[in-house]
Chain A
Amino acid sequence: MMESLASADPITRGLAAAALTKGLSAVLLFDVTAEQFASFVATARSILEVTAGPVRQVTVGASESEDMLWGRYEPTNNAEGPPLLWRPGPLNAPAGTEGLVLACIPDLSQLSLPVTRSLVMLLGADVAHVERYGQRARFAPHIFWLAACSSAATARLSVHMLDRFVLRLHPPRLRQVDAVAELLLALRAEPQRIPNAPQTLSPKVEHELQQAKTRWPEFTEEGARSVIAHQLSAPRELALARLAHAFGRLDPDATQVLVSHVTTAARSIGLKPVTEQPAPEPAPPEPQAPDAPSSQKKSNDSPAAPAVAAAASTGSPSVGTTPSIEARVSENVALPAAPIAAASHPYPEDTLPSERDASPLRLPFHRAARERTLRGVILGSEPARDLRDLALVSTLFEAAKFRAVREQLSKDGERPLFLAPVDLRSYRRAPSPEQALVLLLDYTSLDGCQWLEALLPHLKWAYVERATVCLIQVGAAAARHSLRAERRVFASVLVPALAEALELGAGQATPLAHGLELARQTLQHVLQHGRHSAQRARLVVVSDGRGNVPLAASMAGEITGPVSRGGVMDALRSAERLRAIDRREIVFLNPEPRAYPELPLTLARALGAEPRPIARLTQRKVAL
C-alpha cells in the first residue's frame, strides 16, 4: 500500500501529476520491464480512479488494426434483426459512456503503422473524428495514455508521434531492495503473479489527490521565466509548465507555482537544471502566503535534512526564490528516491542517430506500374481489383450489408447471402521488399577512388525497387571489434543512418573473410527464410581483396599465430561458397589498388563476377 505521495517513487509522483492535468495525459515510460510496466499501470489506474472516477482499461497491442481501433461491423446471431451491428472501437466509445479510458501500450516500438497513425490523431487532441464505413463520430478523447518503450528504440519511431507523449519518465535506476532477497522471492512466487491488480492507495494518498483536485495555484512570473529558461520546444515547454503546476497542486502548502516547482518538475523527467540569466532588475522576493508557514521553514532547513528532501519531493516551494535554478536545485529540490543520471534524458530521439524511414507515418504507395504485392503484413482491406488475395471475411461482411435489399429480389423466399462482384475485397498489405541489396564495403580499400559514385547506380536501383539494404562493414573505423566485420540492416536506402554508415573511415584491420561469410549468411537469410523473403538479391562487393584477418581469428576474436596469406585465402574460400547461392546477382567493384593489383581480380573470379573498375580520384580532387 502506498502510504503517501511524498514517499513514492518518481514515476508514481509523475503519474499522480499527470492524472491531475489533462494536458499531461500521455505518459511514456522508458526502459521498464514488463513487470514494472504492469505495476505502474495498476498504480496509474488506482490514481485515476481517485482523480477522474471510473476507469476502463484498454491494451493497445502490436497486432491491432484500424478496424479494431476505430470500430467495425460484427455479425449478430439474431435471425430477425440486421445481420451486422456496428461496434465502436475501444478508444471511441459512444457518447455518454462513463469513465476515462486508460490506454496501455506495453511496447510502443512494436505498434503497427495503422495504430501509430491513429495515435497521432488521438494523442493530445482536443477533438477526434471517425469517418468509417458509413459511421461517424466526433468526440473529445477522454483517454489517459501510458506507454512503455526502450529509449534506444526511439531512434526508429516517428518523432511526430513521440512528440505527443508529453511526459517522459524513467524508472529508478538504483535498486533500493536487496537483490538477492528479491530474486529468491521471485523464484518462490507463482510464475503468473504479475502485479496487475489495482494497487491500493492509502487514505492519506487519496486525501492528497482529492485535495489537489480542488487546488489551483497561480504561476509566478519567476516560475514562468524559469520554464522558458530551459529553452525547450513549445510543446515540451508547456509540458514542463504543466508538470510544475501539477506539483504545485500536489503541494498542500503552495499557493503559487514557484521556481522550485519548475526545478522539481525538470529533474523528475531528467532534464538537466539550467542556470537562468539574471533578471533585468532584481526580482522581488516571493510574497509569503499567509497560510504557508511551513514553506519558509523548509527553505531555511539544511539541504541535508530529511525533511527538506521530503518537501522537495512533493515540490514544496520555498520563500524568496533565487534567480538561479541550479542554486535552487542544490539547496533543496533534489528528488530523494531516484537520482537522475545524465543517461535518463527525456528526449533520447533528439540525440540518437536516426534509424527511421523518411516518412514513417505514411501509408505505402500504390504503384500503378507494378503488380500489387501479395505478401507483407496485412494493414486492412480494400475493394478488390482482381481475384487474388481476397479478404474473405471482409467480403462476406460487405455482402451482408446488402442482404436485406437483395433478398427482396429473391423469388424463392429463402435468405441466401448473395455475393456480388462489388462486394469483393482484398487485403491491403504493407510492402514487403521483393529485392534486397547486400553491400559489402571494405573501408580499408577506398582510399583514392571514387567509390561512392560507383555505388550510386546500385543505391538508385535499391530505391526504385524499394529494396531492403544490408551493409556489411569490413574494416570500418568505428567497428566494435577490429577483427570482425559488422552487419547493419536498413529498411530502405532512405534511412538517414545508411549515409552516415557509408561515410565511416578506415579502421586498423581487414576482416574480409568474415565480411564475406556475413554476406553469405545474409543472402541465405533474405532469400530463403520466412514468409516474406525476397525474390532476388544483389550483392555488391567493394574490396581490394587484401584480407589480413583469417576467418578463425575473426570467430575467436583474437589472432593466435602468424597470419601470412591466411586472411586472403579464407576470403577466397568464403567467396566460392557465396557463389553457390541461387537468385543472386554479384557485382564486384575493383578499386584497382597499386599494390597487389591481381588480388581483387582473383577475388572477383572466386565470386563469379566480372570486375568493374572504380575510377581513381584525380590529383586535384585528392588535394581537395
Chain B
Amino acid sequence: MDKVDKSLGADAIHILPYSRIVGQEQLKLALELSYVAPHIGGALIVGQRGTAKSTAVRAFALMVYGDLPVTLPINATEDRVIGGWDIDALMRGQARPQPGLLEEADGRVLYIDEVNLLDDHIINLILDVTSTGVLSKQREGLAANKQVAFTLVGTMNPEEGSLRPQLLDRFGLLVGVSAEKDPEKRSQILRTVLEFDKALHAVRSKQNSEFLSQGMAKDRELRESLQRARDSLDAVVFSKDMAALCIALAAEFEVEGHRGDYVTASAARALAAIEGSKAVTAQHVRQVAPLALSHRRREFLASGQWFWSAKEEARLDKHVSR
C-alpha cells in the first residue's frame, strides 16, 4: 500500500499529529499499551462523534508505523477481507491470488472504523481468525491456511448499537471516551483544531507550518520512547502478589472468562515499561484495570450498556488498597 501522501495537493491525506491531540488520556493510554504489548489484543474505543477517536487511531499508526493502519471499511466485500483472486489478472487468464486485509494486517494493526456497523458475515470471518490465529481461505477454487496475528483496534458510536460479546472479548481493552467538559480544555481543543486548519492552509499555499513540524518532532520522540518500552517489556518484573491482585480484581468485578486477568496483567506490565519502572506495582494494575475489565463484566454483557462509574472506581480503590 502507498505510504501516506505527503504532497501538497488538495487530495493529500492529512492527519493531526498524535502529540497534538488534546486530552483523551485514557484513549491514548490504551493505544500505547496495545503497541508496547501487542498480545493485549488491541482496543475498542467507544464514544460520540467529535471525540477524536478515529483521528487518534490514525495519528498513532502514522506515528509508530509511518503509515495509516490497515483499515477494514464497512463497505468491504468478503474477497477483500480474507483474500481472493486478483480479478484483473484473472480476466487476462492468469490465476494470481490476492491477499486480503486480514493477511495484510499480520504483525500490525487492523483498524475497523464503525465496527458496530460491520456486516455480521464479516464479523464471523474476523472471529474465526482471532480465535484460532489461522486464516483459512476455502473459496472460489482457493485453498490455503496461514497463521496471522494482528492487533485489533475498533472505534464505534454506541448510538448505532452494541457489539456481540464474542467480538467484544477479542478487544483486549475498552475505552469509553466522552467530550471534554472543562471549558478551558474545550477552548484548547478548539484552538488546536483551528491551528491545524491554519497549518493545512499554509501547506496548501506551499508554506511551512511550525505547528506541524513541532508536532512531528514530538511524535518522533514519543515513538522512540514507546519503542524503548516495547524492547524492555520482558525485563519488567511481575510478582506473584501482582498476579494475585489481577485475579482478585477479575473476581471482584465478576468478569467472564480468563482473558480479563491476563489482559490486566499484560497492560499493567506495559504501563510499567512505559513509565520506566523495573517492576509492576499495584498502582499500575489499578490504572489499567478499568480498561481491561469493564467490557467483560456480566452486567455489561447482559445489558449491552457500557458503564464504569465512580462506584466502580471506589470498589477498585478499596480492593487495591487492601
Assess whether B257 is interfacial by the CB under 8 Å rule.
Answer: no
**Quick one: which of B77, B119, B200 has the most chain A CB within 10 A?**
B77
Q: Is the CB of A234 within 8 A of B51?
A: yes
Most buried by A among B86, B121, B159, B189: B159
Fill in one digit per residue for A63-75: 1 if any B CB lies within 8 Å of its CB, else 0: 0001000100100
- Interface digits, A135-178 against B, CB 8 Å rule (1 contact, 0 not)? 11011101000000000000000111001100000000000000
A66–B74 CA distance with the chains assembled, in angstroms:
11
For chain B, residues 151 to 199, give those with C-beta under 8 angstroms from any C-beta of chain A. 157, 159-161, 179-180, 183, 186-187, 189-191, 193-194, 197-198
Residues of B within 8 A of A214 (CB): 205
* A361 pairs with B117, CB closer than 8 A: yes
B260 within 8 A of A: no
List the B side residues contacting A86 at CB < 8 Å: 87-88
Q: How far is the CB of A501 from chain B (nearest CB, A)?
A: 22
Judge if A238 is at the interface, Cβ distance under 8 Å.
Answer: yes
Q: Do B87 and A129 have beta carbons less than 8 Å apart?
A: no
- The residue of chain B having its C-beta at the shortest distance from the C-beta of A20 within the complex is B201
Count contacts on A: residues with CB < 8 A to the other chain.
72
Assuming the A-B contacts A131-B80, A131-B101, are A235 and B91 also in contact, with contact meaning beta carbons closer than 8 angstroms in the complex? no
Q: Which of A234, A237, A366, A403 contacts B91 (CB 8 A)?
A: A403
Q: How far is the CA of A578 from the CA of B11 in the complex (A)?
A: 63
Least CB distance, B213 to chain A, in whole angstroms: 18
Closest approach, in angstroms, between the C-beta of A220 and any C-beta of chain B?
A: 11
Chain B residue with the shortest CB-CB distance to A159 = B159
A132 at the interface (CB under 8 A from B): yes
- Return B206 CB to nearest CB of chain A, in Å: 13
The answer to whether A216 touches B201 (Cβ under 8 A) is yes
Say which one of B12-20, B27-35, B128-136, B286-294 lies at the interface with A.
B12-20
Our count of residue pairs bridging A and B at CB distance below 8 angstroms stands at 178
In the docked arrangement, what's the CA distance between A508 and B293, Å? 54
Of chain A, the residue at the smallest CB distance from B81 is A131
Assess the A405–B75 pair: CB atoms within 8 A: no
Q: How far is the CA of A138 from the CA of B190 in the complex (A)?
A: 28
Let me know if A233 is at the binding interface, CB within 8 A: yes
In the bound complex, CA of A52 to CA of B9 (Å):
12
Name the interface residues of A363-403: CB closer than 8 Å to any CB of B.
363, 365-366, 383, 400-403
Contact flags (1/0) for B34-54 with A, using CB distance below 8 Å? 000000000000001111001
B60 to chain A, nearest CB (A): 14
Q: Judge whether A422 is part of the interface by a CB distance below 8 angstroms.
A: yes
Taking a contact as CB atoms under 8 Å apart, the answer to whether A362 and B75 are in contact is no
B50-84 interface mask toward A, CB cutoff 8 Å, 1 = contact, 0 = none? 11001100100000000010011111111111001
A127 within 8 Å of B (CB atoms): yes
Contact residues of B between 1 and 23, Cβ < 8 Å to A: 1-2, 5, 10-15
Inter-chain contact B80/A132, CB cutoff 8 Å: yes
Q: Compute how far the CA of A359 lies from the CA of B92 in the bound complex, rounded to whole angstroms.
A: 43
Known A131-B72, A164-B49: A422·B119 in contact at CB below 8 Å: no
Q: Which residue of A lies closest to B93 (CB)?
A: A404
Which of chain A's residues have a CB closer than 8 A to the CB of B248? none
Whose C-beta in chain A lies nearest to the C-beta of B113? A121
A234–B50 CB distance below 8 A = yes
Residue among B49, B91, B187, B198 making CB contact with A84, cutoff 8 Å: B91
B210 in contact (CB, < 8 A): no
Give the distance in Å from the alpha carbon of A245 to the alpha carbon of B5 in the complex. Answer: 27
Contact in complex: A238, B73 (CB < 8 Å): no
Give chain B residues whose Cβ lies under 8 Å from the Cβ of A134: 79-80, 84-88, 98
Q: Which of B80, B160, B183 contacts A362 (CB 8 A)?
A: B160
Tell me whether A520 is interfacial, beta carbon within 8 Å.
Answer: no
Q: Is A227 an interface residue (CB 8 A)?
A: yes
From A120, A126, A227, A241, give the contact of B14 (CB < 8 A). Answer: A126
Chain A nearest CB, measured from B124 CB (Å): 10
Q: How far is the CA of A401 from the CA of B98 in the complex (A)?
A: 14
A359 to B12, CA, bound (A): 33
- A497 within 8 Å of B by Cβ? no
* Residue pair A82, B161 in contact (C-beta under 8 Å): no
Residue from A126, A129, A133, A237 in contact with B55 in the complex, judged by beta carbons closer than 8 Å: A126
Is the CB–CB distance between B160 and A160 below 8 Å?
Answer: yes
Determine whether A564 belongs to the interface, using a CB cutoff of 8 Å to chain B.
Answer: no
The CA of A127 and the CA of B71, in the complex, are separated in Å by 10
Q: Contacts A129-B73, A238-B50; is A362 near B117 (CB within 8 Å)?
A: yes
Query: Which residues of chain A from 53 to 102 have a CB within 8 Å of any chain B CB?
Result: 66, 70, 73, 82-84, 86, 95, 100
In the complex, how many angstroms separate the beta carbon of A432 from the nearest chain B beta carbon?
19
Q: Across the interface, which residues of B come within 8 angstroms of A95, CB to CB?
A: 11
- Smallest CB-CB separation from A225: which chain B residue? B187
Contact check, B75 vs A361: say whether CB atoms are below 8 A apart. no
Contact check, A361 vs B1: say whether CB atoms are below 8 A apart.
no
Does A619 make an interface contact (CB < 8 A)? Answer: no
Bound complex: CA A22 to CA B201 (Å): 10
- Chain B residues in 8 Å Cβ range of A366: 120-121
Which listed residue (B49, B54, B73, B119) contacts A235, Cβ 8 A?
B49
Given A22, A130, A227, which contacts B200 in the complex, CB threshold below 8 Å? Answer: A22
**Contact across chains for A219 and B87 when beta carbons are under 8 A apart:** no
- Cα separation A176 to B175 with both chains bound (whole Å): 53
Which residues of chain B come closer than 8 Å to A407, judged between CB atoms? 93
| A288 within 8 A of partner (CB) | no
Contact yes or no, A363 B120, CB < 8 A: yes
B65 to chain A, nearest CB (A): 14
* A228 sits at the interface (CB 8 A): yes
Residues A219 and B191 in contact, CB atoms below 8 Å apart: yes
Nearest chain A CB to B143's CB is how many angstroms away? 13
> CA A164 – CA B40 in complex, angstroms?
33
| Interface residue? B140 (CB, 8 A) | yes
Q: Is the CB of A140 within 8 A of B98?
A: no
B254 within 8 A of A: no
A555 within 8 A of B: no
User: B95 to chain A: closest CB distance in Å?
Assistant: 6
Chain B residue at minimal CB-CB distance from A158? B160
The interface residues of chain B lying within 8 Å CB-to-CB of A351 are none
Query: Complex: how many Å from CA A407 to CA B91?
Result: 11
In the complex, B114 has a CB within 8 A of chain A: yes
Chain B positions within 8 Å of A383 at CB level:
78
- The verdict on A130 contacting B73 (CB below 8 Å), with A160-B49, A401-B87 known, is yes
What distance in Å separates the Cβ of A407 from its nearest Cβ neighbour in chain B? 8
* A272 at the B interface (CB under 8 A): no
- In whole Å, how far is A164's beta carbon from the nearest beta carbon of chain B? 7
CB pair A234 B179 closer than 8 Å: yes
B251: chain A residues within 8 A (beta carbon): none
Within 8 A of A (CB), among B235-251: none
Query: CA of A109 to CA of B80 in the docked complex: distance in angstroms?
Result: 31
Closest 7 CB pairs of A and B: A234-B50, A235-B50, A404-B93, A359-B161, A82-B91, A134-B87, A131-B80
Q: Mind listing 8 A-B residue pairs with CB under 8 Å?
A: A82-B88, A120-B117, A127-B68, A128-B73, A140-B5, A160-B160, A238-B190, A362-B160
Supplied contacts A142-B11, A160-B49, A401-B85, 13 more A-B pairs, CB within 8 Å: A66-B75, A82-B91, A117-B75, A127-B68, A131-B80, A132-B77, A132-B80, A133-B77, A133-B87, A234-B49, A234-B51, A236-B50, A404-B90
